[in-house]
Amino acid sequence: MSELSELIARAKQRDVEAMEELFHQFKPLLKSRAKRYARMGLEYEDVFQQGALLFIIGVYEHQKERERSPTAFSGYIKKRLDWGLWVYYRKQVKRGQATFIKK
């Protein structure tokens, strides 16, 4: 079992230290996603906190049986963050707290 798999298993059992270590490893991804949506008009801190929440929920809901390699978890978290933050952004646009930017 890889170090990442062990961390995930321990974090799912509510091990705070394991969750902190996982969070620290994925923090650059969270920051990059928060910066992306901050450029679209949202507050960086709000997006980062939303991303952190999505990350924690993603760890708890991750299904190890479907994982073929430790990098599959990284891809899962990336997709989960992208989708969750997009939904968050759309809600903020509807509330008038952000503007929709067409590419």
pLDDT tier at 100, thresholds 50, 70, 90: low
Annotation: CATH topology of 3-11+25-95: Rna Polymerase Sigma Factor; Chain: A (1.10.1740)
What are the boundaries of each domain within the chain?
3-11+25-95
Beta strands in 45-86 (DSSP E): none
What digits encode the pLDDT tens for the residues 23-66? 999 999 999 999 999 998 899 999 999 999 999 999 998 876 66
Q: At what angle do helices 3-12 and 16-38 cross, to 10 degrees?
A: 100
Task: Give the Cα separation of 89 and 99 in Å (integer).
Answer: 9
Supply the pTM of this predicted model.
0.86
